Structure 1
């Protein structure tokens, strides 16, 4: 890759936790793209200003989460979606059934929140905390959408099930139009931040039932906000 990976500004008690959270966030946002080869261990450790031992610990966790793939003699690459996933992506794009995809969120994401409360590592919780903190102040619609999608993908990684995590990647891409609508207004951005905070609190406490409820409440609020905005749009169009 041409651009060096920036070091993390956060250094919790265990340094590898910060490195894992930092790299996980870069992968989730696409700053380090699927299929991209990471620098050598020595170069990456220098870029991140950490020891090679710390880096190895972080890469081991990312590999366990199936976010990266390490091959002897070929280095480390960010994992890509399979051909089957891309075919499904094209199908949804052509069908345009966003309501169906929104229902899929209700089927998948409360379970992910529950599993995250059970399995989240310190690195995953640190990454979620950074995302929630970044969402708390005045931000643009584009930044709010970015933090939203990254939060949900990071939560999926924290759940520790690579199949569900891959499915969540698809759900995020499929629901981008709906998410963009909900973040277009300040009220939607505030609602998103508050929902994420409630989910984080439950996950951090290890309360599986509370995490599931918090996610369900969050998705219900998002759905109601989208329905309300659609109704207002229809009323404006009827009045023209």
Structure 2
């Protein structure tokens, strides 16, 4: 009798250290742990989260390698402050950007971010993106859908591993907010957004930079097409 092939698992359960790293990095990315925050001691943090100190150390090592935290004797663990270059970028006036210019900048930058994320994303980065996708559905209210859209693109920028790109992405989000808000105001816009985010995630998870770049380009082109169709009615 021949054996029956068994399909592979769709997702493997991440290790505790990967889950911890994803949790902390998402908090740092979304402002839950702002720059300069001091984390509790390793002993207290492990106890409060009911995890082993070994798993916590492994997660902290990943965050340190990504330059998200600093661990120094006597000071403990601190969330890294923004660099001078990042502060200079943040100082640009958001209202100085025309919408067309901001959209063009997004078309240049975001596909490159997706390609870099496909090259550099760690398991914890993929877990963060997957959690956002799992919470995203076309049935959400526009405000919540927009919030998750912003978080997905922000976490993708973090996965690219370049803090200046993260800062530039934040500025682009501000400059393109009217377009993003309009895009998520309709069910069609929300449906397309979720579908393209899944395509981008699949390419990043497969570590395929070309596919990630193409999926992001298609996503942004689709947004412009949907908005043009809506405004022409």
Question: Which stretch of the first structure deviates more once superposed, 83-92 or 42-51?
Answer: 83-92
TM-score, scaled relative to structure 1? 0.81
Question: Which stretch of the first structure deviates more once superposed, 88-97 or 19-28?
Answer: 88-97
Q: How does 1:19-30 map to 2 (within 5 A)?
A: 19-30=20-31
Contact kept, 8 Å, 2:118 with 2:209, in 1: the verdict is yes
Residue of structure 2 equivalent to 1:199? 200
Residue of structure 2 equivalent to 1:59? 60
Cα distance per residue 1:54-91 (max 9 Å; x no partner) = 11211221222233333332233333434554454453
Cα distance per residue 1:179-211 (max 9 Å; x no partner) = 222212222221111111000111111221111
Contact kept, 8 Å, 2:184 with 2:190, in 1: the verdict is yes
Distance 1:230 1:59 in 2: 48
Q: How does 1:174-213 map to 2 (within 5 A)?
A: 174-213=175-214
Distance 2:62 2:174 in 1: 25
Contact kept, 8 Å, 1:65 with 1:162, in 2: the verdict is no
Contact kept, 8 Å, 2:89 with 2:168, in 1: the verdict is no
Contact kept, 8 Å, 2:142 with 2:186, in 1: the verdict is yes
Q: How does 1:6-155 map to 2 (within 5 A)?
A: 12-82=13-83, 84-136=85-137, 138-155=139-156
The Cα shift of 1:17 comes to 0.7
Name the CA shift for 1:88/1:207 in 2 (closer, same or farther; >3 Å). Answer: closer
Distance 2:193 2:111 in 1: 15
Q: Which consecutive residues of structure 2, in runs of 5 or more, have no partner in the other structure? A: 1-11
TM-score, scaled relative to structure 2? 0.83
Larger radius of gyration: 2
Residue of structure 2 equivalent to 1:161? 162
Distance 1:12 1:44 in 2: 23
3-state secondary structure, aligned to 2:93? helix
Contact kept, 8 Å, 1:25 with 1:150, in 2: the verdict is no
Work out the number of aligned pairs and report it: 222
Distance 1:87 1:119 in 2: 26
Distance 1:49 1:212 in 2: 39
Aligned-residue Cα RMSD (Å) equals 2.3
The Cα shift of 1:96 comes to 4.2
